[in-house]
Amino acid sequence: MTSSSTMALPSEARVAFVADQFADAPRTPDEPYPGGAELTDAAALEAAPVPVTCLRSAELKPEQVRTFDLLILGNTEALGAAQVQALAAHGRHVLFEHDLRLCRWRGNFPSAPDRMHRLGATCTCPHPAAHTLFDSALGAIFLTESQRRHYAKNPYYKGVPYAVLGSSLMNRAFFAEVDRRRAEGNTEREHRVTVCYSGSASKGFEEARAFCREHGEEPFVIRHLRPEEVLEVLANSKNFVYLPQAFEAAGRLPLEARFLGAHVITNRVTGIAQEPWWQLDDEGALEHVRGAPERFWEQVARFYQRPARAARPAESLASLSLKSATRRPLATVLAAGRAALEASPLYPNLGRAAQTLARAEAHHQRVLAPLESLELV
């Protein structure tokens, strides 16, 4: 990738950040606090070198798109066909990937009916609207290389100029808290081992709790806590066990736990666990993660310098509307069809298809295994 250390956005650049919701919105009606994607977006916006207009997906008017020199698209599941058409025609957007935009299940592979998703951790979903945005984007920013590789495995994905940050983005308050606690030195920790509850099978709550029990410990469970309360628990935990089972683009919790002094046990499903900085000592790792918000804007500036990609013939609004409306049902039907084929006694005789599934399943089994440092401290 091209070095971006000398690049910066022009001070007069008109920049918009578009997302379904921001950190001022509750994650769900039952969880009155922001999600990880919104916290990452907030950290990016906090470090913005120029004024940025924040727009929820529902607020972006198609005719408004051309009034911006650059639009950063976070989680934008709620964008409609007219908005996608306007963005593609303008060609001045950068995609900021938080999970798996292409996937009908957003990377929650255990929810899919087919083995390629569930056991092979490989998305095969078509997503015409997302591909329209990728085809016309200046570039895409991924949190980790592991996340990017999940996109590359999708058979419909054609690629895009990209950058990889190496982790989620953390705000200044987090680093101030880390610095304060490091200066205070080691203190007594209330919890021997902690895990985080999630109703999503992909997050591996049951597996993490089972791991603790196998080691003779009943873990403290983080459940429905606000972000600042989560940090307090992690700072008072000796061990944090996090064993996602399907897809984890980056992993905020293990990152927070490590820098707040907990011993982290995780696996290679966790995106940051495959990043080189994760193997550094705490000082070097912290320095790398501290620079992520600045790297984000350096990469945005790099993409800003690019001309809009050569436009394909404009797709009609009717066509985009039809694709948007049928995307979920189509992906569901295709996955169900794949599941039926995989269950057929003929499937092992299909040669390359069966071999591809077998390789995907074998690879996923390998990354599920916990990394070194398996013993609780």
pLDDT category, 62, cuts 50, 70, 90? Answer: very high
Residue 132 has pLDDT above 90, yes or no: yes
> Which residue shows structure tokens 């077998």?
358
User: Is pLDDT above 70 for 318?
Assistant: yes
75-90 residue pLDDT tens: 999 999 999 999 999 9
> How would DSSP label each residue in 317-369?
HHHHHHHHHHHHHHHHHHHHHHHHHHHSTTGGGSTHHHHHHHHHHHHHHHHHS
What residues are paired with 264 via a beta bridge? 240
31: pLDDT confidence band, cut at 50, 70 and 90? confident
Average pLDDT of the segment spanning 118-127: 94
Residues 14-26: what's their mean pLDDT? 94
Residue 76: φ, ψ to 5°: -130, 50
Mean pLDDT over 217-226 rounds to 95
Mean pLDDT for the stretch of residues 93-109: 96
**Contact call for residues 284 and 52 (beta carbons, < 8 A):** no
Tell me which of 268 and 373 has the higher pLDDT: 268
What is the distance of C-alpha 98 from the center of its chain?
3
Of the pLDDT bands very low, low, confident and very high (cuts 50, 70, 90), residue 255 is very high
Both structure tokens of 289: 């993660």
Which pair of tokens denotes residue 124? 């095969």
Q: Residue 7: pLDDT above 80? A: no
pLDDT surpasses 60 at 263: yes
Distances (CA, A) of 246 to 11, 116, 226, 332: 42, 11, 25, 18
Which of the four pLDDT bands, split at 50, 70 and 90, describes residue 353?
confident
Instruction: Summarize the confidence of residues 222-251 as an average pLDDT.
Output: 96
What's the pLDDT score for residue 330? 83
Query: Tokens 């000082």 belong to which residue?
Result: 283
Positive/negative CA dihedral, 80, 81, 87, 91: positive
Q: Is the pLDDT reported for residue 176 higher than 90?
A: yes
Q: What is the mean pLDDT of the chain?
A: 92
Helix (H, G, I), strand (E, B) or coil at 238: strand
pLDDT of residue 342: 86
> Among the listed ranges 130-144, 339-353, 357-371, which one has the minimum average pLDDT value?
339-353
Q: Count of CB atoms within 10 A of residue 110's CB?
A: 17
Q: Residue 372's pLDDT is what?
A: 64
Q: Which is more confident, 280 or 319? A: 280
What is the structure's pLDDT at 334?
86
- CB-based contact 95:101 (threshold 8 Å): yes
Task: Provide the pLDDT confidence category of residue 352 given band limits of 50, 70 and 90.
Answer: confident
User: 21-25, 186-190, 303-307: which has the minimum mean pLDDT?
Assistant: 186-190
pLDDT confidence tier of residue 4, bands split at 50, 70 and 90: very low
pLDDT at 170: 98
Q: Set out the domains of the chain in order of their start, with CATH numbers.
A: 15-168+296-306 (3.40.50), 172-290 (3.40.50.2000)
* Residue 294 Cα distances to 50, 217, 239, 275, 313, angstroms: 12, 40, 30, 18, 36
Q: What is the pLDDT of residues 272-296, one digit of tens each?
A: 999 999 999 999 999 999 999 999 9
Residue 1 has pLDDT above 70, yes or no: no
Q: In the prediction, which pLDDT does 313 show? A: 65
Whether this prediction's pTM lies above 0.75 is answered by yes
> What's the CA dihedral at 114, 120, 126, 127 to 10 degrees?
110
Q: Assess contact for 288 and 168: CB atoms under 8 A.
A: no
Torsion angle in degrees (nearest 10) through CA of 281, 5, 159, 169:
50
Instruction: With cut-offs at 50, 70 and 90, classify the pLDDT of residue 3.
Output: very low
Confidence of residue 373 (pLDDT cuts 50, 70, 90): low
Percent of the chain with pLDDT over 70: 96
Three-class SS of residue 25? coil
